[in-house]
Structure 1
Amino acid sequence: MGLPLYQVDAFTKTPFCGNPAAVCVLPVFLESDQLQAIAQEMNLSETAFVVPTAAGFDLRWFTPVAEVDLCGHATLAAAHALWQHQGAVGDLLFHTRSGTLVARQAEDWIALDFPQQPVHSLEHPKLLETLTAALGISPVWLGQTASDLFVVLDNETLVQQLSPDFAQIATLPCRGVIVTALSHAQDYDFVSRFFAPQLGIPEDPVTGSAHCSLYPYWREHVAKETLVGYQASRRGGIVKVQGAGDRVILFGQAVTVLQGELLGLD
């Protein structure tokens, strides 16, 4: 028999927008090389593997080339799939490399409880030179999170018009590069894009984990407790974010676009 497999567009309520993730529900985890092979076959920015347990669900995330420590959109997709297709009810507890993550239903949104990842100023002339060459524009501020470089540009149009050199970005010592600017649109407080060719993802359509850093940075610049971010990739997506101590609550929506079975594991 096959294993349940779903493709879910996350951080959107419109099919074929947002960030697609595969969600595979397993009785127990397969060997890591098998999980990696499945993620490579799915060829999406993330594949989430979920195993039900007595204490909730164990959850792992894989890009086409590597396992990662934290992924927002694939967690959102997993929660959506469990509620919509697997009969799950109530709050969901996901046990992960980044600790326990909680998903809750909040009317027509899904709320994810994630750890904040603060941004610290980074003084590194050589790195700044490489980033400027890779992005084709000089940042107005450079920072670093626990895993990513954090680049602030002068305005949202510059973020939207970026055409990076992914080969140069892939040489940088980080998981990926968050590029952001303040938004003057009525519906959003800031815009962002996320580039991670190091992980086989030249540009991630919508990156929940990046908003764990975008929130604390922009909260210092925007006098609001709840911020709305628009990730300005080709597909685009919306992430609402609230602070909760040293945590952030990410709000997103999701829609299933494909349902089937994973075969070929005998």
Structure 2
Amino acid sequence: MRLKLFQVDAFTDNVFGGNPAAVVPLEKWLADADLQKIAMENNLSETGFFVPEKEGGFHIRWFTPEVEVNLCGHATLATSHVIFNHLEWPGFELEFKSRSGLLKVRRESGLLKLNFPTDKPKEVEYNEKLADCFDKKPLAVLKGSADYLMIFDDEEYVRNVIPNLEAIKKLDAEGVIISAKGKSGADFVSRFFAPQLGIPEDPVTGSAHTVLVPYWAQITGKKQMIARQLSQRGGELFCADNDDRVELGGKAVTFLEGEINF
């Protein structure tokens, strides 16, 4: 079997920046075990697979090297980049069926804008297990549907902290987002750790911003914000809070085009 493979750096306009995702177009779904093996072989934080739907649009799924996940922003951005630029999709909007419902992506003003459901976090109690994850107590701890969110008072702490990944792995969550108010043009900054999904640190995480955007919109009173994820590769997102939906805008560049043979 021969399958097309693209590797795309998402949420950046420079190769070697942002978050790399593999994208595999399919005519029909393979067995789940094969999808997982391909993602494991790619060994990137996410591989996006998609098939055309008879009634229009696409069905999208995302796999880490270890598991299938419910939502992935950067692999959706990368997939949209492939459909628009390599498959020469003629329109300006895409629709994807997914585990997280209907997702839309619009091409506008040089950006790809993801329209995702909001995941409003709720405050939770700070406990011993959470305290083991970082060497400083956060200002607040919240939780979305899948991830913890810890708010700190200093951008530099978020940038430089070394997390206890073994402690994070033991939490009842898919991962931990840490965040602080931004400086130098960003409204807020973040990092994301998900060792329980096989991702020690994700370079730029669209799904985490479905939690971050409603939180910071409430704190800042802004509906439009610029976010930066402070991983080693780094990335920038142009965010909008639309109550029950969030919009995440970014750029993407193709690093690799190839073929899978198995």
Q: Residues of 2 paired with 1:144 and 1:213: CA distance? A: 8
Shift of residue 155, structure 1, vs aligned partner: 0.9
Distance (whole Å) between structure 2 residues aligned to residue 124 and residue 245 of structure 1: 27
1:35 Cα shift? 0.2
Q: CA RMSD in A?
A: 1.0
The alpha-carbon distance between structure 1 residues 164 and 124, as it changes in their structure 2 partners (threshold 3 A), is closer
Task: Report the CA distance between 1:133 and its aligned residue.
Answer: 2.1
| Deviation for aligned residue 1:157 | 0.7
Which residue of the other structure, out of 187, 207, 210, is the alignment partner of 1:209?
207
- In the alignment, the residues of structure 1 paired with residue 25 and residue 136 of structure 2 have an alpha-carbon distance, to the nearest angstrom, of 43
Q: Percent identity?
A: 46
**Alpha-carbon distance in structure 1 between the residues aligned to 2:260 and 2:101:** 28
Cα-to-partner distance string for 1:92-131 (whole Å, 9 max, x where unaligned):
1111011110111012100111000001010243xxx222
Counterparts of 1:225-236 in structure 2 under 5 Å?
225-236=223-234
In the TM superposition, residue 168 of structure 1 has moved relative to its aligned partner by 1.1
* Native 8 Å contact 2:39 2:65 kept in 1: yes
Match of 1:247 in 2: 245
CA distance in 1, matches of 2:221, 2:152: 20
Distance 1:108 1:4 in 2: 26
Distance 2:172 2:59 in 1: 29
Among 82, 86, 99, the alignment partner of 2:101 is: 99
CA distance in 2, matches of 1:56, 1:87: 14
Per the alignment, residue 71 of structure 2 pairs with: 70
| Equivalent residues of 2:223, 2:242 under 8 A apart | no
> Could you tell which deviates more after superposition, 85-94 or 20-29?
85-94
| CA distance, structure 2, for counterparts of residue 81 and residue 7 of structure 1 | 9
SS of 2:162 mapped into structure 1: coil
Amino acid aligned to 1:160 = R
Q: Structure 1: how far apart are the matches of 2:118 and 2:90?
A: 26
The 1-side partners of 2:227 and 2:117 are apart by 17
Distance 1:49 1:157 in 2: 36
1:26-45 to structure 2, matched below 5 A, reads: 26-45=26-45
Tell which deviates more after alignment, 249-258 or 236-245. Answer: 236-245
- Unpaired segments of 5 or more residues in structure 2? none
1:114 and 2:112 correspond: no
Kept after mapping to 1: 8 A contact 2:60/2:96: yes
The secondary structure found in structure 2 opposite 1:221 is helix
Correspondence 1:116-195 to 2 at 5 A: 116-125=118-127, 129-185=128-184, 187-195=185-193
**Number of positions where the alignment pairs a residue of Structure 1 with one of Structure 2:** 260
User: Secondary structure at 1:29's aligned position in 2?
Assistant: coil
Q: Offset of 1:132 from its aligned partner?
A: 2.3
SS in 2 for 1:203: strand
* Aligned counterparts of 2:214 and 2:53: Cα–Cα separation in 1: 33
Normalised TM-score (structure 2): 0.97
Q: C-alpha displacement at 1:245, in angstroms?
A: 3.0
How far apart, CA to CA, are the structure 1 residues paired with 2:90 and 2:76? Answer: 16
Could you state the TM-score of these two structures normalised by the residue count of structure 1? 0.96
Q: Which structure 1 segments of 5+ residues have no match?
A: none
C-alpha separation in 2, matches of 1:8 and 1:82: 12
Following TM superposition, by how much is the alpha carbon of 1:89 offset from its aligned partner in structure 2, in angstroms? 2.1
- In structure 2, what is the Cα distance between the partners aligned to 1:262 and 1:84? 20
CA distance in 2, matches of 1:135, 1:123: 16
